[in-house]
Structures are given as C-alpha cells and as structure tokens.
Amino acid sequence: KQEVTQIPAALSVPEGENLVLNCSFTDSAIYNLQWFRQDPGKGLTSLLLIQSSQREQTSGRLNASLDKSSGRSTLYIAASQPGDSATYLCAVEYTDKLIFGTGTRLQVFP
C-alpha cells in the first residue's frame, strides 16, 4: 500500500532556528515529490517540486532533498520566522495522483 508519513506531527520553535521536517514513503516508484504549505482553513500552496531524477531543490530559505531509494525526503527551513507558522504537507506522485502525508504543524514564536 502506498503510504506517506511525516514526522514530527507538530513542532514549536523560537524565531531564527533552522528546522528539518521529515517525510517517508513506502513505494519508491514515484514520479515526483512535492512540499506544500497549508494555512488554517486555506488551500495548499506549492513550495517545492522534486522530480524523481533529482536529489534536491532550493527556493529562498527552503531546501528539499529526495532519497528515492530509501523512500525519504526532508524539508529544511533556514532562519525560521513567525510567518512560517503553518502546516507543511509532503505529497508523493504515483500515476496521476498525489498521496499526502498527515503534515507537520509548525509554530514559530517571536
């Protein structure tokens, strides 16, 4: 069964810390992996897309890595800010569908 797991489920840190969010998936036959941000009651905002042939992607303070063979991805957030507070979702694509993890709820306090 294709499953995606994210740890930790929740994280509360002071502003300025560097963070690592983890994602693991059971079936390594993926097309790509995408990280999203979800604010309460809102839609999903795409952060980074890593194709299966890639090892990492960077956008600003965000860096995502992919180790397809071990079924893992990490999202690194540098110098966290209160505006980064949200739920971060990892999603893996298999044949025209995304399988989502349960998310990591991040709170960054001033």
Partner 1 sequence: EPEVTQTPSHQVTQMGQEVILRCVPISNHLYFYWYRQILGQKVEFLVSFYNNEISEKSEIFDDQFSVERPDGSNFTLKIRSTKLEDSAMYFCASSVERSGELFFGEGSRLTVL
Contact mark string toward partner 1, 14..53, x via CB under 8 A: -----------------xx-x-x-----xxxxx--x-x--
Instruction: Spell out, one character per residue from 67 to 86, where the chain touches partner 1: x when CB under 8 A holds, - when not.
Output: --------------------
CB of 110 to partner 1, least distance (A): 28
Instruction: For the CB of residue 98, give the shortest distance to partner 1 in the complex, in Å.
Output: 6
Dihedral (Cα; 75, 81, 84, 86), 10-degree rounding: 110
Asked if residue 8 has a cis previous peptide bond (ω within 30° of 0), the answer is yes
Nearest to 55 by CA among 67, 42, 40, 38: 67
Residues 90-109 that bind partner 1 (CB under 8 A): 91, 93, 95-103
| Dihedral class, residue 41 (left if φ above 0, else alpha if ψ from -120 to 50, else beta) | left
Site of tokens 């690592």: 20
In the complex, the residues that contact partner 1 under the rule CB under 8 A are 31-32, 34, 36, 42-46, 49, 51, 89, 91, 93, 95-103
